[in-house]
Amino acid sequence: MTDQEFNIIDELYFVTSFEALQQELGLPEPELREALRGLISMNYIKCLFPDQDTEVPFDPDHFTREGHRYFFLATKEGLLTHNSR
């Protein structure tokens, strides 16, 4: 897990919006999107859309269009990996 991925998961112990995550981490949008894609592909975080309570499967096209409106939450696997570092 990279430092960037570690820092992202560190923010996702609770449901967090894309915008709040970007603001907290200070990452440019394209860099944050790419890091989130990587974490999603490793099953370390899950996507919630259009609200904080609705989990959706990752759809790259939809994420490209609407990713700024997503919410994210670390998965159990992501938290275990994060805490083992």
pLDDT tens for each residue of 23-75:
999 999 999 999 999 999 999 999 999 999 999 999 999 999 999 999 999 99
Sign of CA dihedral 19, 24, 26, 31: negative
Q: Are strands 16-17 and 71-74 parallel, antiparallel or unpaired?
A: antiparallel
Whole-angstrom distance, CA of residue 13 vs CA of residue 7: 11
User: What's CA 24's distance to the chain center, in Å?
Assistant: 13
